[in-house]
Amino acid sequence: MSFQNISWDVADGIGTLTINRPKQLNALDAATLGEIAGALELARVQPGEVRALILTGAGEKAFVAGADIAAMAKLGPAEAREFAALGHRTLNALEALPVVTIAAVNGFALGGGCELAMACDLIYASERARFGQPEVNLGLIPGFGGTQRLIRRVGLMRAKEMIFSGEVYDAATARAAGLCLEVLPPERLLEHARAKARVIASRGPAAVATCKRVMQQGADQLLPQALDAERLAFAGLFGTAETKEGMAAFLEKRPASFTTR
Ligand code: CAA
């Protein structure tokens, strides 16, 4: 598969998806969303090859400065519904990917860019990162999940402040709000994300994928239902070679060798 608006690279089990439209500050149009979905599908159908995935933006200024405003300005209501549905499908696929995803937010993460980062499991930011949902400045609302995922990340009142005001937050403020885990000097951001990805990629891939699924789904469930899912998932792993290998390695005092997802 060839890409124009993103670049896609896999090395040592770590995939890197770089949104690559720096002249538009990596804004997301339909074609770019389609390419992101294509790369996610590659990651999903190649078990074992991609064990963790990093998302970042090309250039020094932006992670993703939002949905493409020039493209959206031409849409009517029916087309806008399709565009939001494409955004939802793509970000839902990212959130459900059976490998851990890490947003390395290197600059502006505004609107659809903040929404893209929030669909990742972990978010690390450079000191240059800026987060916000400025859609109300355009007479719009967040359309790629922001009204809902932001509540789950930072709580209802902070999410309301961010979305109602449309203000842009620096990386330290975003961290204090729980929108990113750590803030790093720009030159250390990718190295940090890769180091974290390598640690995760070295663990039992089926175990990590199962944790992700149960935690992600459980966050939207009542506790008894979520605990049922945990119990089933825990038991299900006992039939797998990975679990046998993990426990045998511990008992034999040797490192585990995990090969499949
Ligand atoms: N869509 C399309 N093009 C964009 C863009 C976007 N979201 N953001 C920036 N660009 C383009 C600019 O139009 C400009 O293009 P030209 O050079 O051809 O004029 C180029 O990128 C550089 O941008 P600026 O000159 O504006 O750079 P700056 O440093 O002065 O400002 C910025 C940077 C503060 C990020 C500013 O570009 C900005 O405010 N961008 C829009 C941010 C925004 O509103 N995002 C939300 C979009 S709506 C959305 O995402 C809806 C949703 O939830 C799905």
pLDDT tens digits, residue range 66-84? 999 999 999 999 999 999 9
What's the confidence (pLDDT) of residue 46? 79
Distance 116 CA to ligand 1 centre (A): 16
Residues of the chain with CATH 3.90.226.10: 6-201
Q: Residues in the chain with pLDDT < 70?
A: 47, 260-261
Residue of 49, 60, 127, 135 marked active site: 135
Distance 25 CA to ligand 1 centre (A): 6
Using CB atoms within 10 Å of the CB of residue 191, give its burial: 0 to 12 exposed, 13 to 18 middle, 19+ buried. Answer: exposed
Residues of the chain with CATH 1.10.12: 205-251
What's the confidence (pLDDT) of residue 2? 87
Which atom, in ligand 1's list, is nearest to the CA of 111?
50
> CB neighbours of 95 closer than 8 A, spacing ≥ 6?
119, 120, 216
- Which residues approach ligand 1 with their CB closer than 6 A? 24-25, 27, 65-70, 87, 108, 110-112, 115, 134-135, 138, 140, 142-144, 146
What's the confidence (pLDDT) of residue 201? 94
Q: Are 113 and 146 in contact (CB under 8 A)?
A: no
As given in the structure block, the two tokens for residue 82 are 């399709």
Q: Which residue matches tokens 């490998």?
A: 99
Instruction: Write b or e for each residue in 128-146: b if 16 or more Cβ atoms lie within 10 A of its Cβ, otherwise e.
Output: bbbbbbbbeeeebebbbbb
What's the confidence (pLDDT) of residue 101? 98
What's the confidence (pLDDT) of residue 261? 47
Q: Are 106 and 85 in contact (CB under 8 A)?
A: no
* CATH match of 205-251 with 2.30.130: no
Distance 27 CA to ligand 1 centre (A): 7
Class at the top of the CATH hierarchy for domain 6-201? alpha beta
